[in-house]
Amino acid sequence: MSRPVAPSPEAVLEWASTVQSTSDLILRRLAGEYHEDAWGFDEEFTEAVFPIFEFLYSTWWRVKVEGAANVPGHGRALLVANHSGAIFPFDGAMIATAIQKEHPLPRWVRAMVLNWAFDLPFVSYILRRLGGVAANPANLGRLLNEDQPVMVFPEGQKGFGKGFADRYRLQRFGRGGFIEVALETGSPIVPVAVVGAEEIYPKIGESKPLARAIGSPYVPITPTFPWLGPLGLLPLPSRWRIEFLEPIDLSGYGPGSSEDRSLVFDLTEQVREQIQEALYRGLVKRGPAFL
Amino acid sequence: MTDKRIVIAGVSTRWGSELARTLQRRSGVGEIIGIDSTRPKADLGRTEFVEADIRNPVISRILPALEPDVLVHCGIVWYPEKGRPSRALHDINVIGTLQLLAACEKTPGLEALIVRGSAAIYGSAPGAPAFFTEDMARRFPLVTRFQRDIGELEGYFDNFARRRPEITCCMLRFGVEVGPGLDTPFNRYLNLPVVPTRMGFDPRLQLLHVDDATGALAAATMNPVRGAVNVAPDGAISLSRLLRLCGKPAVGVPPVLVSVINRRIGNYLGSADLYRDGELLLRYGRGCDNRRLREEIGYELAFDSEGTARDFARTSQGIQALFPSPHPGSPVRSVSR
């Protein structure tokens, strides 16, 4: 049996200073002395919860990233990704984490979030502090004009809430509104393919009565949720791959092109096909979902 | 350029009086005449006062006789006051504006009409644009009585502007005003010893400083532009951070109690049965774009939302000992109330 070792004075001092700086941070925040930008994004808060995302990223989902450098390091950029998750939009969180960890010039990416999320208690302001903004063309255009990187999930609810049987099959890309805004603002589009998020909450059904009861547009049923209660919210540890594709430059189309319906539809379809192909590629590269 | 004759309707309201006092000091301003149904409480110096009720058709004979170059309508009432119960607000706001517009029709030589309106026309909704621009009015259904009143009077205003293109018609859409000495339900709300908030929601607000509110109104009077203009500060601040800066403890009200408590508090704060506007604002918040104000009217705002919050915190009666600041030098704490 070994004797208990007394902690060295340096370790005690270090520990004490950590406690002090943490309590200082908490007191400072309780006094309101922190920064939020005009959109409600709170960088300090985001950095404080970042270790959770880091754990999910490296340990839980073992995310592999390809082409992170395709995201422009400065200026406006529109990241377009497939959407899934059924319960929590972890795909968006992991795209942001991937850029933080793999990009040479990391930036926080704003996310266009389904409107009804801002009607849910707690979720509404947590999303906002993490950089979530209600999805509408006005917000997207304004963020891009502020030279921010923004991610959109054009499938929206149809992608987020699709059943397990439809996994990795891209749904319709809305009406191509994001292409219109990208053309108006001259923003490059970076298609992003996320493989792995479809398996974290395999959705096998929906509960209409429960959805009506809590005022949510739908409530998913998975093998674990809602049967296991809060424990059912634990995402399954699938293996992930995120691929950032080559940026599509739209600056050559010039002003007014956003009103050209057929051009908008063509570009929408082009982006959609690129992501779908990357998904199939990524699925093969990833291999088995959980091992 | 000859000096402008300015008529201020609703001069006895706080905003009308403040505008009159500000304009008196400006060059390029000739005579200032104030109209209202009650005498102004404040001393208005060289401003002449004419007692008249804008709800009464007689206004159509009074206004042309005053020969205004510029008419500023400050008579839109946001909250019930003493002598103005909430059921009278529709009459004052909608019928009063309608009578005033009718009087303008009969006033030759009128160059500009400025109305102090409200940003309530944008509503507060979960999926709203973070910064409403002027062309986004009525994008969401007008749900409260005050919103519908504003919607209706803006409709009359737009009609008038179309019919009389020679008159510069400017609709100012004011947001939430905050500042020392301002006595509105929202300021009273912030001055409660413990502030109830809706559990799970933290609205993003824009706080317009009272000085900027008066300054913007005066700037628009001197340099009116056509159409609607948002009077909103730069940036935004969340309610939770505002309360923390003020040193106010907030209490989350669970959803089942919200409607009961809001009605009680609405009554207590003096918004009577108009508390729904505040309820929506304190759930979803609202932000407006101020480009037209800054660039077209050319008004430079003195405070952004955070600056207004800090200025308010300096003067509010918060329970500041609850969370001693770790930064003794910060202006919020160092100035005693």
Q: Per-domain residue ranges for chain A? A: 42-286
pLDDT tens for each residue of chain A, 291 residues long = 566 777 788 888 889 888 888 888 889 999 889 999 999 999 999 999 999 999 999 999 999 999 999 999 999 999 999 998 878 889 999 999 999 999 999 999 999 998 888 988 899 999 999 999 999 999 999 999 999 999 999 998 888 888 888 888 998 888 889 999 999 999 999 999 999 999 999 888 888 888 888 767 778 888 888 888 888 888 999 999 999 999 999 988 877 888 999 999 999 999 999 999 999 999 999 988 887
- Does the distance separating the beta carbons of B201 and A121 come in below 8 Å? yes
Chain A contact set for B307 (CB, 8 A) = none
- Does the distance separating the beta carbons of B238 and A28 come in below 8 Å? no
CA dihedral angle for residue A115, residue A120, residue A125, residue A128, rounded to 10 degrees:
-20
Mean residue pLDDT of chain B comes to 89
Length of chain B (residues): 337
In this complex, is the C-beta atom of B328 within 8 Å of any C-beta atom belonging to chain A?
Answer: no
Non-local CB neighbours of A59 within 8 Å, separated by 6+ positions:
none
Pairing relation of β-strands B204-205 and B237-238? antiparallel
In this complex, is the C-beta atom of B216 within 8 Å of any C-beta atom belonging to chain A?
Answer: no
Rounded CA-CA distance A20/B208 in Å is 37
For residue B35, is it within any domain? Answer: yes
Nearest CA in chain A to B202: A125
Rounded CA-CA distance B13/B76 in Å is 9
For residue B320, is it within any domain? Answer: no
Reported as type and span, the H/E element at residue B220 is helix B210-222
- Does the distance separating the beta carbons of A32 and B245 come in below 8 Å? yes
**What one-letter code names the amino acid at A273?**
E
Choose between A173 and B225: higher pLDDT.
B225
Confidence (pLDDT) at B335:
38
Rounded CA-CA distance A46/A21 in Å is 18
Distance (Å) from the C-alpha of residue B25 to the closest C-alpha of chain A?
34
Distance (Å) from the C-alpha of residue A121 to the closest C-alpha of chain B?
4
For residue B185, is it within any domain? Answer: no
Long-range pairs, A18-24, Cβ under 8 A, ≥24? A24/B326
Q: Which of B241, B290, B305, B333 to mutate to test the interface with A (most CBs of A within 10 A)?
A: B241
Take residue A206 and report the two structure tokens written for it. 């929906």
**What one-letter code names the amino acid at A164?**
F
Nearest residue to A185 via CA among A136, A135, A146 = A146
- Does the distance separating the beta carbons of B235 and A38 come in below 8 Å? yes
Confidence (pLDDT) at A244:
97
The tokens 């160059």 sit on which residue?
B111
Residue A92 CA, distance from chain mean position: 1
pLDDT tens-digit profile of B143-195? 999 999 999 999 999 999 999 999 999 999 999 999 887 888 899 899 888 99
Nearest CA in chain A to B127: A115
DSSP for residue A59: I
Count of structural domains within chain B:
1
φ/ψ of residue A15, rounded to 5: -60, -45
Band (pLDDT 50/70/90 cuts) for residue B1 is low
Least confident interval from A88-92, A237-241, B28-32, B313-317: B313-317
pLDDT tens-digit profile of B43-61? 888 899 999 999 999 999 9
For residue B309, is it within any domain? Answer: no
For residue B337, is it within any domain? Answer: no
Q: Print the domain residue range for B165.
A: 4-177+210-233+287-299
* Cis preceding linkage at A188, omega within 30: no
Confidence (pLDDT) at B260:
87
Band (pLDDT 50/70/90 cuts) for residue B330 is very low
For residue B188, is it within any domain? Answer: no
Residue A132 CA, distance from chain mean position: 9
Rounded CA-CA distance B245/B99 in Å is 44
Nearest CA in chain B to A134: B127
Among candidates B129, B200, B325 on the partner chain, residue whose Cβ is nearest the Cβ of A121 = B200
φ/ψ of residue A151, rounded to 5: -110, 140
Non-local CB neighbours of A17 within 8 Å, separated by 6+ positions:
none
In this complex, is the C-beta atom of B199 within 8 Å of any C-beta atom belonging to chain A?
Answer: yes
Take residue A11 and report the two structure tokens written for it. 């370790």
ipTM of the complex: 0.89
Q: What percent of chain B clears pLDDT 90, i.e. is strictly above it?
A: 70
Q: What percent of chain B clears pLDDT 70, i.e. is strictly above it?
A: 93
Least confident interval from A103-107, B1-5, B120-124, B302-306: B1-5
In this complex, is the C-beta atom of B237 within 8 Å of any C-beta atom belonging to chain A?
Answer: yes
Chain A contact set for B197 (CB, 8 A) = none
In this complex, is the C-beta atom of B291 within 8 Å of any C-beta atom belonging to chain A?
Answer: no
**What one-letter code names the amino acid at A39?**
W
Q: Which of B197, B244, B310 to mutate to test the interface with A (most CBs of A within 10 A)?
A: B244
Helices B96-105/B145-163 angle, 10° precision: 10
- The hierarchical CATH code for the domain A42-286 is 3.40.1130
Distance (Å) from the C-alpha of residue A106 to the closest C-alpha of chain B?
24
Q: How many other CB atoms are found less than 10 A from the CB of residue B181?
A: 8
Reported as type and span, the H/E element at residue B254 is none
The predicted model scores a pTM of 0.89
In this complex, is the C-beta atom of B323 within 8 Å of any C-beta atom belonging to chain A?
Answer: yes
Per-residue pLDDT at B298 exceeds 50: yes
Rounded CA-CA distance A256/A168 in Å is 34
Per-residue pLDDT at B325 exceeds 80: no
> Between chain A and chain B, how many beta carbons pairs sit less than 8 Å apart?
100
Nearest CA in chain A to B321: A31
**For position B78, which CATH number holds?**
3.40.50.720
Q: Which residues of A95-126 are buried (b: 16+ CB within 10 A; e: fewer)?
A: bbbbbbbbbeebbbbbbbbbbbbbbbeebbbb
Rounded CA-CA distance A250/B44 in Å is 59
Q: Which of B204, B206, B240, B242 to mutate to test the interface with A (most CBs of A within 10 A)?
A: B204
pLDDT tens-digit profile of B274-295? 788 888 999 999 999 999 999 9
For residue B171, is it within any domain? Answer: yes
Distance (Å) from the C-alpha of residue A280 to the closest C-alpha of chain B?
33
Residue B193, class by beta-carbon neighbours within 10 Å (0-12 exposed, 13-18 middle, 19+ buried)?
A: exposed
B170 touches B229 (CB < 8 A): yes
Confidence (pLDDT) at B320:
47
B68 touches B107 (CB < 8 A): yes
Chain A contact set for B133 (CB, 8 A) = 138
B52 touches B62 (CB < 8 A): yes
For residue B252, is it within any domain? Answer: no
